[in-house]
Structure 1
Amino acid sequence: MILQKLRGFSATVALGVVLTAGVPAIVGSIAQAATTTLHASAAVNVRTGPGTSNARIGVLYPGDEVAATGSSINGWTPVNYQGRKAWVSTRYLAGGGYTPSTTTTSATGSAWTTANLNLRAGAGTTARVLATLPAGTEVNRTGKVSGDWAAVTSDKGSGWVHGNYLSASQVSAAPASTSSSVPTGNSAPSTVGTRYATTTLNLWTASSGSRYVGTVSKGTALKYTGTARGGRTQVVVKGAARWVTSAYLSASKPGSAASSASASGEGQATTTGSCLASYYDEDQLTANGERFNTNAFTAAHKTLKFNTRVRVTNPANGKSTVVRINDRGPYVWGRCLDLSTAAFSAIASTGSGVIPVRYTVLG
């Protein structure tokens, strides 16, 4: 009996040694305390269980703080995420003394906030708020980024802001609308000149929103009223006031030297290309002020005008979808589009995370 008990005790010790040896070295440091404050060292998914097969319920960005609630298990750490138990890959977590690394990029110079934006002491939502920058505030980007966060200087001091809410072009509050200044519907306001469509354009019913009533083809001559708002220009088509994307209007017909550049100065003259696309599903306000809807076919792009439609194709399977730009990002090298979950799922499995795509700007 004594020999059997000793043999059982030895087996238990041996099993404990095997389990400990199978855990990466970093787990040991995290496992020292039952509750530990950690920080994300890279953008990492937060999941319902310890493994990639479990549902994703959020994302931690570099520098974001999270509380570990226990020891790591097989490379996954249990954490308290927004009041619920969740799991994060241990390799992307660091101790409380973590300082977000930064890299120098070409994104320097002036930018404007597209919403009321917190200026923080560090690159993360847990960093102290230094000031609030109203929409339209001009800031200077230093070239340092950490994940989706950008280091800036402003008239309220230096700090970090979320890059999704910065625009390379000046942002100003829309003037109050009046029934006499901006006619809509079937009334025909006076026009001041002619502009030409440089691509197929949607005819929007208002200066904002997603409702349109048709298209005009590339090269169409459009009489315009001289009123521009929210990235759209008011035109008169068949006796009715409509709106078109300003970036795709030119003073000369397409094909001439004068119309070869984009009117917006934001690179929209290039209507096709290839890049990497990712997806996101965080509950947040998008850069144009909408509440993000993971089931809507929308996307984030760094410079395309809001409400621009883009056809995105997965060359691996030939599937394509059309999305509407309503957000800014992604701020990761090599990626040009961040799709909603619904849009990404239409062309690929979300398990892919990031895929190569072809895109065509439709206007």
Structure 2
Amino acid sequence: MTVPQPDPERIARWTLQLCQVDSTTGQEAALIPLLTGMFRDLGARVLWQTVEGGRRNLLATWGDPKLLFSTHLDTVPPYLPPRREAGRLWGRGTCDAKGILATMMETIRLLLAEGRRDLAFLGVVGEETDSLGARIALDLKRTLPDLLGVINGEPTGNVLATGQRGSAHLCLRCRGRAAHSGTPEEGLNAAFPMFDWISDLRRLPGRVDPVLGPEVWNLGTLKTGRAINVVPDEAETRLFARTVAGSTFVQDVQRLRPEVGEVDVLFERGPEVFPRLEGFPTAPVPFGSDAPTLRNLARSRFVVMTGPGSIRVAHTEDEFLDLAEAVTGARQYLDLTRYLLDRPQGSDYVI
């Protein structure tokens, strides 16, 4: 008996259709007509869950779902129209994450052809900013009472993520006193203590987790001054840290704060470890995702995160997805489904 194989042409066609729609964060509603038709063509029961401002999460179900495929519907700006060159798809969303969505759809199509009727797909909005869609999606738990596990799609190069580092978004401010640049002694330059603060942070020893890798932080924005001939009376910096277990980064930022400084912790979430499955390759990933939130939809909080594509080209002007890698990703999704669902009846997964 011939086992049906993933169709690269179908994955390419679906990916290009999805990427032709500009669904940068905040504009995900533009996908509603296309996705409604796509999933109804697959025989799904389609539910659109309101999030805000016309934005909606998509839940597609077949029968009594035991396994949920999920990825996000939004992309980062700017919109880059898709194109195909031989076996490679280029454009915004091709690997993060509309190509993954198309790969999951092809996987589901093949599973349905095998007679499976215990699947669901969840597409969420806002993953690239505040994960609002994933947080709202937790209200769907009562709709999925028998859900055993979640496969969350992100560009991992088709390896299973061992977990993800935590996140900390901090706003640092220093206050000064404005003065004429010709008489700086009359003022207090807020930029200088900010520079010293950042320098102290750069000298902190690095922490490395054996599973998740090194803790890192990024100085994303630095604003100071009103004009070149005015002593700055304020300075503001936004930091984003990827933290590991036992992190003291936020406390260190507070400890090193200058007398004129203050810290606002805008967002903080701890690291997460995902299960390892025998026979599937694993590796740490350098990015965050909705997986830690969406795992709460499953009754034992079981989640794996994997998908075709490379995070190194996601969010860049040269974003692409190799179709051969998407086909490999679909085969792995099929293997994961059989591994996770073909278990003794009534057994839950071990985290």
TM-score, normalising length from structure 1? 0.20
| Structure with higher RCO (Cα < 8 A, 6+ apart) | 2
Greater fraction of residues in helix: 2
TM-score, normalising length from structure 2? 0.20
